[in-house]
Amino acid sequence: MGAARRVNASLAGRGARTSLETRLKAQAFGLGFDLAGIAALGPADSAHAFDAWLARGYAGEMRYLEGAGAELRRDSTRPAPGMRSALVVGLNYGGTQPSGPVARYARGGDYHVVIRAKLEAIGRWLALESRVRARTRAFVDTGPVLERDLARRAGLGWFGKNTNLIHPRIGSFFFLGALFTDLDLAPDAPFEADRCGRCSRCLDACPTHAFVAPRVLDATRCISYLTIELKGAIPLALRAAMGELLYGCDICQDVCPWNVRFSRDAAEPAFAPRPDRASPDAEELLRLDETAWRERFAATAMSRARRRGLARNAAVALGNRRDPAAIPALTAAARDDSEPLVREHAAWALEQFR
């Protein structure tokens, strides 16, 4: 079947293939994506840097990035055998929103669901339009794919010094997704330029000093990792620097000149910020039991931290706020919470009042 597809593409001629790529990207823009480009699958350009990053222990507890997961990420043809090309897309989620205790990406609907539905719709269109019943597979953040690598290869931006992909027209407040296909599509030109110049605002602004060098992030010091991916206790030395952040962190993006100038409101209705997620009350989060947490966060991006993680983060935020009004809630959590992790962080928070 793969050979038949290549023969079909060859007979159709380059003009027809280019027409298909143009129409494919038009489908993406028609569904609301802000960026779209095509990349050929193969060995990742950043595979060596990725391996070095893992070897230094910068992934922390994110064990899924190692072992077999790392092997698959080194070559984008491996996660879905037979696939040859990818439509890579970007969807803005609203960098113009005010900063707050929850990172902007998690304030609306679950982006995995939203983007996957759009990519699968494009896949159905491509299967019909290609006249060879193209096979496709959508990846949205959860697969063993180095999305930034593919996005740069598809012309969607460069790696900023804060490790985020930056596009010169919309900044970095956007999600990435990819639709793999077994068709041989003509790729777009990769983004070769580095437009960060001498700027180091993102590096200088990080309160936990998570950047060991430009474009090298020690995730174990990153507030996003500490509040989301880390499942155990937050290191004592980093708690005060977290301030009142509850879930994720946008600081290194907030100060980026490309975001200051080019961020835009989110056009996707599903990403409209919801008040109970944009600025949740830390004391209320600390008091939530498992049932209440599930009712409020189970179907959102914030579910990744689980109840114990959010309550842990809330205790740290209250300790850093040092508002005496929170002492009763912290005292109750330190004494009665079912999770030892939460009890320990609530006790730490109480110590900050002394």
Cα within 13 Å of Cα(102), Cβ side: 24
Instruction: Give me the active site residues, please.
Output: 141
Residue count of the chain, please give it. 354
Whole-angstrom distance, CA of residue 272 vs CA of residue 97: 10
DSSP three-state, residue 211 = strand
Whole-angstrom distance, CA of residue 274 vs CA of residue 279: 9
Whole-angstrom distance, CA of residue 254 vs CA of residue 202: 8
Cβ-contact 223, 242 below 8 angstroms: yes
**Which residues are within 8 A (CB) of 147 and not within 5 positions of it... i.e. 6 or more apart?**
88, 139, 141, 176, 177, 178
Can you read off the two tokens belonging to residue 306? 């689980």
DSSP three-state, residue 308 = helix
DSSP three-state, residue 87 = strand
DSSP three-state, residue 75 = strand
Can you read off the two tokens belonging to residue 321? 């706020």
Can you read off the two tokens belonging to residue 170? 């919309």
Whole-angstrom distance, CA of residue 181 vs CA of residue 41: 10
What are φ and ψ of residue 91, in 5° steps? -130, 115
For 64-93, give one letter per residue: b (16+ CB within 10 A) or e: ebeeeebebbbebebbbeebbbbbbbbbbb
Widest Cα–Cα separation across the chain = 78
